[in-house]
Structures are given as structure tokens and as C-alpha cells.
Amino acid sequence: MSSPLLDQLHLATLPPEAQAFRAEVRQFLATEMPELPADVRARSWMGFDAAFSRRLAARGWVGVTLPREYGGAALDAFSRFVLVEELLAAGAPVAGHWIADRQSGPLILKYGTAAQKDFYLPRICAGEAFFCIGMSEPNAGSDLASVGSRATPADGGGWRLNGRKIWTTNAQNCQYMIALVRSSGTAEDRHQGLSQFIVDLSLPGVTIRPIRDLAGDAHFSEVFFDDVALPPEALIGQEGSGWEQVTAELAFERSGPERLYSSIVLLDRWLTVLRASGQAARHAAVLGRFATHLSVLRNLSIAVTAQLASGQSPVIAAALVKDIGTEFEQAVPALIEAALGADPEEALDAELQRACAYVSQVAPTYSLRGGTREILRGMIARGLGLR
């Protein structure tokens, strides 16, 4: 008996050249990463450090999967998996180049014009062009197809953009946004009439308001478009093909090891403290749960990477890994917090305590970013033929 979903998941392993690449990345991090406490390194996903991103770019590791003619490293998806895994395990500040490397660059490479590729891709690879994602809107929630921001044809060519985006990661630090907006029809048309545009965030009419989170950081922004004049060449791909394009883009976003390691610095710090205190045996059950969960997830993620490496767009399998990965990422701070609180008389490691406090505060966002749990499970159900 075959399954539309299970048939997509085949055991895969990292090829030897990708494993060899790991040593290069570790050497780079040993020399370029400053010594930072765990509560700072735990911000890796959201850690914005343009200077670090440019050092990584100078090493050739931003736009790693992009062709050499655009300044990329032309490495395969397996090598990118290794690079991302090592960056997150070290707690490197990756937010500057993260989105451009993972999805904006590959999207432009796949759907962009020759002029768009010539202009944007070399800047991405040099760490000079940072991108944010313009998908979520205040009144659309998780229903991406109901976005209300609209681009209308302008007299003399180009487009006029009006609307609003929210939960836009690091918009205040980026030069560009790739925005999904309605370019024809009405909200009732759902997947029809949507298009993607590259928006220069320095244009008149663009207003960016950072949103401060529970931890006191401002990683997200609300972005307003007030009659923004976009040139004709801002359109990516075909007008009205935005839904197909954004679906492919989300597969890039959900498919990598990014969805497994948001809490890994905290877990590593807890292990270090337990080993130093000789208390690891007391928490063997929790540690065993983490190890088995992470091992399965990592292999699933490598299997999805194999699909990317073969040129496929693993939309459903990536949704599966992202959903289960989120469960793991949120379980880590919850169970460590419970373990720390189980013995009020025991002295706490201050660095561990700060890291746990930070990750616990931001963990609720893990099941929102890149698609909510409900959206992902709906996609998986469709993949199984249940909807």
C-alpha cells in the first residue's frame, strides 16, 4: 500500500563531501565567532550582526547554493544543511543574511528576470542586500490567500502599492522585501490574482515600525505601504502567479535544519551544567527523549534536503518536518524549566537560567513563524488524501 506522504520520505545520508565541509565551517566559527554567553547565542535565529554576515559572505558562504556567475558558492543543498546546522549549533548571529540566503535568492534565481538576477544575486552573495518576507497581514491571520495589500497598475507603467504587512522579521534592518500582494481580482478569488514584488524599503511611502517582544527585543516589524511607486521590474515572475511562487518559497523556508535547532544552545548549556555537576543521571529520561526526538527529526530533515538536492519542491514533507520540529523546539525550554524548578533548593547556573528565560519567552513564536501548526497539519492531511 502506498501513501502520497510516506512515499516522499526516503532515508538519506549526508554525502562525504558535505561531511568534509563541516570541518571548514567549524574552523571558520572558531576564528570568527566571539566568545558569547548562552543567553546571547540562543538568539542565533534572531541575532542580527551585519558585520558577521559580511565575514561569512567574504568566505563565500552567503548564497551558498547560488551559481558562481552571481557570486554564489554553487554548493548543493546538503552542504547548506551542514553550514546551517553548524551556525545554529554555535549560536552564530545569522538573521542578517538568513532570509536572502535561504529563500529570496533561490526565488529570484528561479522566477526572476535576467536583470533581477544580475542586480540582486551578487549583492546577496556579498552580504550587501538583506531581505525580509512580506506575507503576513493583520487581518489575514494564517489565511495567506486572503492578503489585502494591493498593487494596481500605474499610469505610465509600474505599480502603486498600498497595504500593510506584520510580523515581518528584521524589516527595520533590511534593504528589500519580497511581498505577496493582490494585483487583480478580489479576496474571494483566493489563489488567483496574487503576485510577488521586490519592494525597496527605502522608497517614499514605506513606513516600518518595529514590534518589541516579551524578551524586550525588536525582531519583528509592521510595515505600511502608502501609495508606494514600484517600477515595472519590481514584479517577480508572471503577474497572477504569486500563489504558486510563494508555495515554492515556503518549501525553502520550512525544509532546512532551521526548524530543529532554535533551542539547541539552551539544550547544550543544560548538558554542560549537568555534566559538570554530575547530575546527568537524574535527568536520563528527559535527555533520552531529547536525543531520540532530535535524531529522528534530523534524519527527516536530511531526507527533505535530499529532495531539494534532486530539484524537487518538497512542500508536504517540509510541512511535516516543520510541525514536528516545532514540537521539539518548544519542548526543550518547557522540560528544562520544569527540571530546574523541581528542586528549589539547588543552586542555579546563572548563564543557564538566563538562556532558559529567553528561550521560554520566545518559544511560543516557533509554532507561528513559517506557518501555524493548524495550517501545516491541514497541508499534511491533504498530502495523505484526508482533505
Q: Is residue 146 one of the residues assigned to a domain?
A: yes
User: Using an 8 Å Cβ cutoff, are 113 and 187 in contact?
Assistant: no
Domain boundary among 129, 151, 166: 129
The pLDDT value given to residue 316: 83
Torsion of CA 354, 359, 360, 362, to 10 degrees: 130
Average pLDDT, the chain: 90
At 225, which CATH number? 2.40.110.10
The pLDDT value given to residue 381: 87
Q: Is residue 249 one of the residues assigned to a domain?
A: no
The pLDDT value given to residue 19: 92
User: Using an 8 Å Cβ cutoff, are 245 and 196 in contact?
Assistant: yes
**How do residues 330-339 score in pLDDT, each as one tens digit?**
999 999 999 9
At 259, which CATH number? 1.20.140.10
Q: Which domain holds residue 92?
A: 16-129
The pLDDT value given to residue 257: 74
User: Using an 8 Å Cβ cutoff, are 68 and 74 in contact?
Assistant: yes
String of b and e for 183-193 (b: at least 16 CB within 10 Å)?
A: beeeeeeeeeb
The pLDDT value given to residue 331: 97
- pLDDT over 90 (residue 379): no
Instruction: Answer yes or no: do 104 and 169 share one domain.
Output: no
Length of the chain: 387
Instruction: Answer yes or no: do 40 and 145 share one domain.
Output: no
At 78, which CATH number? 1.10.540.10
In DSSP terms, 152 is beta-bridged to: 160
The pLDDT value given to residue 369: 81
Instruction: Answer yes or no: do 233 and 271 share one domain.
Output: no
Active site residues: 253
Domain boundary among 240, 264, 282: 240
User: Using an 8 Å Cβ cutoff, are 235 and 111 in contact?
Assistant: no
Instruction: Answer yes or no: do 160 and 259 share one domain.
Output: no
Instruction: Answer yes or no: do 169 and 262 share one domain.
Output: no
Instruction: Answer yes or no: do 33 and 73 share one domain.
Output: yes
User: Using an 8 Å Cβ cutoff, are 170 and 48 in contact?
Assistant: yes
Is the model more confident about 332 or about 300? 332
Instruction: Answer yes or no: do 196 and 157 share one domain.
Output: yes
Instruction: Answer yes or no: do 114 and 185 share one domain.
Output: no
Q: Is residue 3 one of the residues assigned to a domain?
A: no
Domain boundary among 186, 210, 240: 240
The pLDDT value given to residue 255: 67
Q: Is residue 246 one of the residues assigned to a domain?
A: no
Instruction: Answer yes or no: do 364 and 279 share one domain.
Output: yes
Instruction: Answer yes or no: do 202 and 266 share one domain.
Output: no
Instruction: Answer yes or no: do 58 and 121 share one domain.
Output: yes
The pLDDT value given to residue 336: 97
Give the 3-state DSSP-derived string for the chain, with helices as H, strands as E and coil as C: CCCCCHHHCCCCCCCHHHHHHHHHHHHHHHHHCCCCCHHHHCCHHHCCCHHHHHHHHHCCCCCCCCCHHHCCCCCCHHHHHHHHHHHHHHCCCCHHHHHHHHHHHHHHHHHCCHHHHHHHHHHHHCCCCCEEEECCCCCCCCCHHHCCCEEEECCCCCEEEEEEEEEEECHHHCCEEEEEEECCCCHHHCCCCEEEEEEECCCCCEEEEEECCCCCCCCEEEEEEEEEEECHHHEECCCCEHHHHHHHHHHHHHHCHHHCCCCHHHHHHHHHHHHHHCCHHHHHHHHHHHHHHHHHHHHHHHHHHHHHHCCCCCHHHHHHHHHHHHHHHHHHHHHHHHHHHCCCCCCCCHHHHHHHHHHHHHHHHHHCCCCCHHHHHHHHHHHCCCC
In DSSP terms, 161 is beta-bridged to: 151, 228
Confidence of residue 3 (pLDDT cuts 50, 70, 90): low
Q: Looking at residues 19-24, what average pLDDT do you find? A: 94
Q: Is residue 10 one of the residues assigned to a domain?
A: no
The pLDDT value given to residue 248: 78
Confidence of residue 120 (pLDDT cuts 50, 70, 90): very high
Q: Is residue 8 one of the residues assigned to a domain?
A: no
Please state the domain count of the chain. 3
The pLDDT value given to residue 372: 85
Residue 118's CB is within 10 A of a number of other CB atoms, namely 12
Is the model more confident about 131 or about 215? 131
String of b and e for 211-235 (b: at least 16 CB within 10 Å)?
A: eeeebebebbbbbbbeebebeeebb
- pLDDT over 70 (residue 141): no
Q: Is residue 247 one of the residues assigned to a domain?
A: no
Strand 176-182 to 131-134 pairing:
parallel
- pLDDT over 70 (residue 360): yes
Q: Phi and psi dihedrals of 312, rounded to 5?
A: -85, 165
Instruction: Answer yes or no: do 215 and 154 share one domain.
Output: yes
In whole angstroms, what separates CA 275 from the centre of its chain? 32
**How do residues 229-257 score in pLDDT, each as one tens digit?**
999 999 999 999 999 898 878 777 776 77
The pLDDT value given to residue 346: 84
The pLDDT value given to residue 383: 80
- pLDDT over 90 (residue 292): yes
Q: Is residue 232 one of the residues assigned to a domain?
A: yes
Q: Looking at residues 218-238, what average pLDDT do you find? A: 95
The pLDDT value given to residue 174: 96
- pLDDT over 60 (residue 1): no
In angstroms, the CA 264 to CA 270 distance is: 10
Q: Looking at residues 188-207, what average pLDDT do you find? A: 93
Confidence of residue 143 (pLDDT cuts 50, 70, 90): confident
pTM over 0.85: yes
